[in-house]
Amino acid sequence: MKRAVVLLTACLLAAGLAGGIQTEKSKTVPLRFDDYYSYEDVVHALQTLNKAFPEKTRLEVVGRSEEGRDIHALVLHNPETGPELEKPGIYVDANIHGNEIQGGEVCLYLIDYLLHRYSTNAEIKKLVDRVVFYVVPVVNVDGRHHFFADPNTPSSSRSLRRPKDDDRDGLVDEDYPDDLDGDGSICQMRIKDPFGEYKTDPEDPRLMVRVKPGEKGEWTILGQEGIDNDGDGRINEDAEGYVDPNRNWGFDWAPPYVQRGAGDYPFSGVGLKALAEWTLEHPNICLAYSHHNSGGMYLRGPARQALGEYPRGDIAVYDYLGQHTERMIPAYRYLIGWKDLYSTYGDSIEWIAQCMGTYAYCVELFASAVESYRTRDEERPSGSGEGGESLFRESNSRILERLRFSDQLVHGELYKPWKSFVHPAFGEIEIGGWVKFSSRLPAPFMLKDLVHRNAAAMIFGAEQTPDVKLEVFEVSSLGKGLHRIRTRLSNAAAMPTMTELAKKVSLYPQDTLTVTGSSAKVVAGGLLTDVHTDRVSYKEHKPGIQFLTVPGFGKIEHQFLVSGRGEVRISYTSRHAGKREETVRLR
């Protein structure tokens, strides 16, 4: 979409940003969130933000796509408050399907909001000082590029760009849909046919309804715009090879005969493999969001029922975040993937949850029901995706409402009226229907609300990553050189320092609490189960090293019996909560 390129360039020039930065003092980056940015725009925006805020950001190329485009990640935190890998990590990505572009805008808005609010909002400053964000705005960089650069439907350009002979004629990707009327969108073709299955909708001549048995037909739908490019008698049968980038991950992968779009083997997508390897280099990640469209859903796993339900403790955390999200984004629903949508194999969120031990959400952006055109008292049309209605097929009354929305709210820009065209094979036909930037994408004027609410939900989630405090709340002498040391690890946030799922399979080591001293020896140590009655579950071997998980909104206390004198160091280390240390002196 060339207008997005022009818009970003105009904004930068107007602000005096020939090099991407206004002034070092103001650090203002004039991003707009009332239109969509192409892949090239997103890269430009990331580079501009990085240059404007070098002390808080690092821009990395995590890998390259099949067509050689860079996949960028922006790392955002405050290095002055501690090492990156010793802070809770929040992973955010989007646009894993090339046509699902608004997630990229959510990512840009999140980055922009955190950086610009850091100096003026105490809550944001506290968060950025404590955690680290890993943001990948565009995973499927080839798909996003081609969605903007080429004619498409709202649902095309999803795949990885891996050539495939779909029709088995010895050629690859030779019969894409064609933009016959040159308007930049791939719409529908229809032809007059008295024996067709459709007739004109009496409520609006732009729509069609199926004829009833015995009724005379009026139209036959010929499918998407296109011609027979390879002369085999078929139309549009060999577009880009379909490898679904959200079915190609290395956990619970299944071959194409089980899961369409799975690819030849896990991580056959070169960009996906590089992204997975980069993600694994950041073991501090404890929360992940992957943004898709559409439906207005915050989905948690498991991806398939056969994987088994998550442990109860993990569900409590998912529920806490999910229910708060429903309040922050009223049109969205918190759901379970396999149960409330459909089962998947080899998807990215299940991979990061199962292989890295994170909490993870698949965010289906944009509840199309907000494209409304009715009074408060009018009944919502069926097929709106609410109240148990279908998420996958809209009724004609709902389509009619969306058409009225297009007419009155964006003055017809979402729908192309039917127009005559002479097709080389079919003769006189008509072309029309929903354009590329419609249906799965909110109208640009609705973007600001969408990106802000979803960014706010992620900020809330980030605030619930483990926030652990180490206290030595008692040091007392028991006589004859023996001392009692009591410690408390308290967590002010909802997430424990290790998921129950990770603990169940020993995915990575638990947190450790160690007590050491050059002139002191730990003779006993263990979990303090009742401080009032001095009940302790002592560890039999190596009592100076305790393995533990700090619960969300909770605490865990230990007691150590130490003989000797001098300085004693109490150290806490956690994969997801970082490091803490206290020192006491025994006399």
pLDDT-above-70 percentage for the chain = 93
Residue 473 shares a structural domain with residue 571: yes
Specify if 227 maps to a domain.
yes
Residue 85 shares a structural domain with residue 193: no
- Our count of domains for the chain comes to 3
Residue 139 shares a structural domain with residue 262: yes
Q: Which of 267, 266, 337 is nearest to 295 (CA)?
A: 337
Residue 553 shares a structural domain with residue 579: yes
Specify if 51 maps to a domain.
no
Q: What is the mean pLDDT of the segment spanning 367-385?
A: 75
Segment 395-428, tens digit of pLDDT:
888 899 999 999 999 999 999 999 999 999 999 9
Query: Dihedral of the CA atoms 439, 441, 445, 448 (nearest 10)?
Result: 150
For the entire predicted model, the pTM comes to: 0.92
The residue length of the chain stands at 587
Question: Looking at the predicted structure, is the pLDDT value of residue 8 above 80?
Answer: no
Looking at residue 108, which CATH number applies to its domain? 3.40.630.10
Residue 488 shares a structural domain with residue 573: yes
Specify if 82 maps to a domain.
yes
What confidence category does residue 1 fall into, taking pLDDT thresholds of 50, 70 and 90?
very low
Q: Which region holds residue 385: left if phi is over 0, alpha if psi is between -120 and 50, else beta?
A: left
Crossing angle of the two packed helices 102-117 and 447-463, in degrees rounded to 10: 60
pLDDT of residue 166: 78
What gap in Å lies between CA 404 and CA 397, rounded to an integer? Answer: 11
pLDDT of residue 386: 45
Specify if 541 maps to a domain.
yes
Segment 269-283, tens digit of pLDDT:
999 999 999 999 999
DSSP state, 306? G
Residue 483 shares a structural domain with residue 542: yes
Residue 353 shares a structural domain with residue 219: no
Segment 140-191, tens digit of pLDDT:
999 999 999 999 999 999 999 988 877 788 888 888 999 999 999 999 999 9
- Candidate from 20-34, 52-66, 88-102, 335-349 with smallest mean pLDDT: 20-34
Specify if 17 maps to a domain.
no
How many Å separate Cα 303 from the centre of its chain?
15
Residue 457 shares a structural domain with residue 475: no
Q: Which single residue is written with the structure tokens 């909802």?
A: 494
Q: Which region holds residue 359: left if phi is over 0, alpha if psi is between -120 and 50, else beta?
A: beta
Residue 342 shares a structural domain with residue 455: yes
pLDDT of residue 387: 38
Looking at residue 541, which CATH number applies to its domain? 2.60.40.10
Q: How many CB atoms lie within 10 A of CB 504?
A: 12
Residue 454 shares a structural domain with residue 339: yes
Specify if 132 maps to a domain.
yes
Segment 465-495, tens digit of pLDDT:
999 999 999 999 999 999 999 999 999 999 9
Sequence-ordered strand ranges (E) for 294-398:
297-300, 333-336, 359-365
What confidence category does residue 380 fall into, taking pLDDT thresholds of 50, 70 and 90?
low
pLDDT of residue 382: 53
Question: Looking at the predicted structure, is the pLDDT value of residue 62 above 80?
Answer: yes
Specify if 577 maps to a domain.
yes
Residues with Cβ < 8 Å from 563, sequence gap 6 or more?
A: 481, 482, 483, 520, 521, 523
Residue 459 shares a structural domain with residue 317: yes
Dihedral sign, Cα of residue 10, residue 12, residue 18, residue 20: negative
Range of the domain at 481: 468-586
Segment 304-334, tens digit of pLDDT:
999 999 999 999 999 999 999 999 998 899 9
What confidence category does residue 28 fall into, taking pLDDT thresholds of 50, 70 and 90?
low
pLDDT of residue 27: 54
Specify if 421 maps to a domain.
yes
> In angstroms, how far is the first alpha carbon of the chain from the final one?
73
Query: Does a cis peptide bond (omega within 30 degrees of 0) precede residue 509?
Result: no
Residue 429 shares a structural domain with residue 454: no
pLDDT-above-90 percentage for the chain = 84
